[in-house]
Every structure is written in structure tokens, then in C-alpha cells.
């Protein structure tokens, strides 16, 4: 089980305050009883325990078709329709997957998460030599970034592989009824999966949004879901506060926020966790940043970023706290070799594991940052496998729901993301935006 250590962030007493614990309990009750703001988006809450083996079988059967017919699968999606799958695939995969893949698993590429012309050009050029398939993921089915990429990919796939094969290797994950992705999937006869109405994008990694790409990549979706289901039990409302890691984390970060710590930095010491950082930033940023409130979620990869952001964290403005995701056991063993000449002076490390040095970097950083006035929360997991990632995902989701409610916002909407879209459509002259186009022209 995930272990949470807040001893270097707060005095335990700060969490023992009755009023705070009452607010946590009230938030938990509101989630369970579906009486909170955004209560039509609580489908994630008991999702892990409600996923059946039959459903996972369907996901895996579809993944097998893609695995059988494709050497490359492009996952088109953005935000919540992208980050969870990428986070898990990169955390579980070989760091050099594209070089070491001997064809046992398709390469997974991502598109529809930007509008970079060069990115899309280079992707389409690369795909010319690949037997590729596409998973088109969009809950609304109308997101511009994803729809643009999908239009390019669909055309290329049909031209390269023929209409019949394209129909087999293009899969849609979208709403049951509405949106262009649904219309296209139904018209073309693609296999499709439904994103439940009551699961918002950033909470959707344990729906086919995440499960399908993860299964196509060859990872164990049963173990992922099992980890999440175990964490669902470990964070249930009947679990006493002090033993409920999501409740304690949610409470701790709200206390720190009240103390002026406006920025939370998620830290890893494993490069494979880079996209977990990205997933977490979206989860907390979109859930809490509203009504002129909310901790700003930032993230760093250590020790890499100790050589860029380390100075700021050690001595910059004291408005930050850190949450470190610490992985206890690496998958592989690598020892530092002895060198007779010792020209680099590193013989004091001979015979030691690389991870031992990494762990001392982690501990040394923790102590230095605490000394520098940066409260430090630690989230420990045993290893980077599907089971532990499932736990970590649900731990953060549950804490996010509780934390947003303690903060007093609706953690399940994202009204702010519409503003840029409205301007973009006005600037591009989208039909239906004529008035906005005229208005925006006066500003430029
Ligand atoms: O969490 C969210 O709701 C968003 O990040 C969405 O996932 C993102 O905007 C993509 O939306 P859609 O899945 O409708 O294409």
C-alpha cells in the first residue's frame, strides 16, 4: 500500500484540529451521497470496484485486434483524453522503447494534443512506413486539436491501408450519442467504447480512455484496476482519518495553502514518472483552480531539475511545498564498477547500486529543502508496476475530490477552458461565431 509521510510538512497537531477533520468527513460524505457541487460527475468514485472481468475482456479483445494488425498505434486525444494513458505507458515502458522494441508490442505514439504543424507533418511522414492504427479519444467528440489530428490520420490510414483495414484498426472512445467522433464512428462502423457521462476527462484514465491504449501497449490492465480498487477500499469514508492517505493528503495541502503555500510542486526521482507529473498537474489544476482560488500545481523531475529549478526551490519566494513520489524498488540492478585508476574519484561508490545514490540524492534534497523552508510530503510506492500505479492514480483522484470540496470549489467542472476556444474560433471565422469575430477584430 502507498505510504504517506507528512512529518516534514506539518506538525501532526495541525491535522488534529476538529474543524478540519469535520470538513474532510463532510467532503467524503458529500462525495458518497452525491450531494456535492458537480455531483453529476462522480462516476470515477466507485469505478475501480465496478469494472467487471467481462468489460476488461472486451477492452483486451479490441486491443488484441490492434496489436495483431498494427506495428504502431497513434492515440489521438488531449487533456484528460490523453495524459493518463501516456503517464501509465511511459511509467511502465522501457525508457528506450522505440529503439528496443523487437515487434512484440506496437509502438504507441500520441497526437491530437497540440496543433504544431511540424509535429503533425513529421508524424505523418514517419507513419508512411508504418502499419498504423488510430485510437481516437474525445469525450465531447468536438475538441479541435484532436479532431484536426484525427482527420489527417484517418485519411492517411485509409489511403495507406485501404478502407476495410482502416475500419478494423481505427477505434473510437467517445460519448455514447453526441459529438463528431461518435457520428464518424457510427457511420464508418468503427469499434467504439463509451466514456460514461458521469466521468470527467481528468478522472477517466480507468475507463477505456486509458485502459485501451494501456492494453494495446501490452500492460496489465487487470493489475492496474486491482490497485485502484484496493485504494478505493483504503480511502473509503469508514476508514479512520489518520489511516486514510487521500484524506490526510487532502487535509495537509489545504492547511499548507492556508499558511500561504500557494504552489505545490510534484517531484519524482524517476524519469519514467514525467508524464505522471503531467497527469497530476491537470487533475489538480483543472479541479481546483477556479473562483480565484486554488494551489498552483507545478512539477519537476529530479535530479535533472535540481540543476535548473533547484536554486529557486531552495532559496526563492517561500510560497511552495513539495510532494515527492518516491519509488522504493527499481526493476533492475546496476552496480557502479570499480576503477583501478579512480580518475573520477568515484571509487567510494564502487559496488553500490545506482539507486542507492539516487535515494541519497532524494534524502539530501528533502532535508535541504525542509531546511530552506519548503514543507515536504512524501508518497511512497513499492515499485513502478501496474498494480502500484493503479493505487497511485486512485489515491490522487480521491484526494483531489476531497481537497477541492474542502477548498470550497466544484472540483468536477472546468468552465475556464472555454475562453481560449471562443477566441480561437472567432479568429478562425468558425460558422456561428460571426459576432465574436467582429468583436475580436476590434482588439487586434
Ligand atoms: O479533463 C477534462 O475535462 C479536459 O481536459 C478534457 O479531457 C479535454 O479538454 C479533452 O476533451 P475531450 O475528451 O472532450 O476531447
Query: Is 379 strand, coil or helix?
Result: strand
- 143 CB near ligand 1 (under 6 Å): yes
Ligand 1 centroid – CA 278 distance (Å): 14
Residues 6 or more apart whose CB falls under 8 angstroms from that of 156 comprise 124, 127, 128
274, part of any domain: yes
Residues 390 and 47 sit within 8 Å (Cβ to Cβ)? no
- 92 CB near ligand 1 (under 6 Å): no
What backbone phi and psi angles, to 5 degrees, belong to 109? -115, 160
- Taking only the tens place, the pLDDT of each residue in 185-236 is 999 999 999 999 999 999 999 999 999 999 999 999 999 999 999 999 999 9
- Taking only the tens place, the pLDDT of each residue in 291-311 is 999 999 999 999 999 999 999
Residues 263 and 383 in one domain: yes
443, part of any domain: no
**Domain's final residue, options 156, 186, 219:** 219
**Domain's final residue, options 189, 219, 249:** 219
Mean pLDDT of 24-41: 97
Report the nearest atom of ligand 1 relative to the CA of 143: 15
315, part of any domain: yes
- 79 CB near ligand 1 (under 6 Å): yes
Q: What is the pLDDT of residue 101?
A: 86
Q: Average pLDDT of the chain?
A: 96
Query: Is 17 strand, coil or helix?
Result: coil
Residues 213 and 232 in one domain: no
Ligand 1 centroid – CA 240 distance (Å): 34
Residues 153 and 63 in one domain: yes
Residues 62 and 158 sit within 8 Å (Cβ to Cβ)? no
Q: How far apart are CA 317 and CA 351, in angstroms?
A: 40
Ligand 1 centroid – CA 202 distance (Å): 7
The pick from 38, 44, 81, 138 for probing ligand 1's pocket by mutation, whose C-beta has the most ligand atoms within 8 angstroms, reads: 81
Q: What is the pLDDT of residue 435?
A: 93
Ligand 1 centroid – CA 265 distance (Å): 23
- 200 CB near ligand 1 (under 6 Å): yes
Residues 131 and 262 in one domain: no
The pick from 38, 79, 86 for probing ligand 1's pocket by mutation, whose C-beta has the most ligand atoms within 8 angstroms, reads: 79
**Domain's final residue, options 182, 203, 219:** 219
Ligand 1 centroid – CA 200 distance (Å): 8
Query: Is 71 strand, coil or helix?
Result: coil
Q: What is the pLDDT of residue 151?
A: 98
- Taking only the tens place, the pLDDT of each residue in 94-153 is 999 888 888 899 999 999 999 999 999 999 999 999 999 999 999 999 999 999 999 999
Q: What is the pLDDT of residue 438?
A: 93
- Taking only the tens place, the pLDDT of each residue in 247-272 is 999 999 999 999 999 999 999 999 99
CATH number of the domain encompassing residue 383: 3.40.50.10490
Residue 243: domain span: 3-35+225-412
69, part of any domain: yes
Q: How many domains does the chain have?
A: 2
Amino acid at each position: 500500500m502507498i505510504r504517506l509521510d507528512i512529518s516534514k510538512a506539518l506538525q501532526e497537531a495541525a491535522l488534529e484540529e476538529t474543524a478540519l477533520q469535520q470538513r474532510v468527513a463532510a467532503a467524503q460524505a458529500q462525495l458518497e451521497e452525491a450531494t456535492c457541487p458537480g455531483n453529476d460527475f462522480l462516476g470515477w468514485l466507485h469505478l475501480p470496484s465496478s469494472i467487471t472481468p467481462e468489460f476488461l475482456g472486451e477492452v483486451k479483445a479490441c486491443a488484441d485486434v490492434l496489436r495483431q494488425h498494427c506495428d504502431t498505434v497513434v492515440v489521438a486525444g488531449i487533456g484528460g483524453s490523453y495524459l493518463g494513458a501516456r503517464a501509465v505507458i511511459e511509467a511502465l515502458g522501457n525508457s528506450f522503447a522505440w529503439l528496443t522494441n523487437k515487434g512484440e508490442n506496437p509502438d504507441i505514439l500520441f497526437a491530437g494534443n497540440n496543433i504544431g504543424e511540424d509535429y503533425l507533418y513529421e508524424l505523418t511522414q514517419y507513419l508512411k512506413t508504418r502499419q498504423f492504427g488510430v485510437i481516437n479519444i474525445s469525450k465531447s467528440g468536438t475538441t479541435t486539436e484532436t479532431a484536426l489530428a484525427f482527420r489527417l490520420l484517418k485519411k492517411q490510414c485509409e489511403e495507406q491501408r485501404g478502407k476495410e483495414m482502416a475500419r478494423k484498426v481505427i477505434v473510437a472512445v467517445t460519448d455514447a450519442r453526441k459529438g463528431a467522433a461518435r457520428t464518424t464512428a457510427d457511420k464508418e462502423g468503427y469499434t467504439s467504447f463509451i466514456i460514461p457521462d458521469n466521468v470527467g476527462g481528468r478522472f477517466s484514465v480507468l475507463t477505456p480512455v486509458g485502459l485501451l491504449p494501456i492494453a494495446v501497449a501490452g500492460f496489465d490492465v487487470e493489475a492496474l484496476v486491482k490497485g485502484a480498487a484496493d485504494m478505493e477500499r483504503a480511502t473509503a469514508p469508514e476508514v479512520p482519518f489518520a489511516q486514510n492517505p487521500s484524506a490526510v493528503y487532502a487535509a495537509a495541502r489545504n492547511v499548507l495553502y492556508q499558511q500561504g503555500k500557494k504552489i505545490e510542486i510534484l517531484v519524482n526521482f524517476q524519469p519514467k514518472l514525467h508524464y505522471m507529473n503531467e497527469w497530476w498537474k491537470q487533475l489538480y489544476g483543472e479541479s481546483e483552480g477556479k473562483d480565484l482560488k486554488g494551489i498552483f500545481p507545478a512539477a519537476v523531475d529530479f535530479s535533472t531539475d535540481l540543476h535548473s529549478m533547484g536554486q529557486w526551490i531552495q532559496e526563492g519566494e517561500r510560497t511552495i511545498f513539495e510532494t515527492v513520489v518516491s519509488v522504493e524498488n527499481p526493476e533492475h540492478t546496476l552496480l557502479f564498477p570499480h576503477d583501478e585508476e579512480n580518475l573520477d574519484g568515484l571509487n567510494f561508490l564502487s559496488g553500490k547500486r545506482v539507486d542507492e545514490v539516487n535515494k541519497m540524492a532524494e534524502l539530501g534534497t528533502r532535508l535541504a529543502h525542509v531546511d530552506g523552508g519548503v514543507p515536504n510530503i512524501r508518497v511512497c510506492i513499492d515499485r513502478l508496476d501496474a498494480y502500484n500505479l493503479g493505487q497511485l492514480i486512485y489515491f490522487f483522484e480521491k484526494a483531489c475530490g476531497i481537497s477541492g470540496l474542502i477548498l470550497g470549489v466544484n472540483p468536477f467542472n472546468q468552465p475556464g477552458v472555454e475562453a481560449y476556444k471562443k477566441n480561437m474560433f472567432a479568429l478562425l471565422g468558425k460558422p456561428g461565431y460571426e459576432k465574436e469575430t467582429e468583436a475580436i477584430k476590434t482588439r487586434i
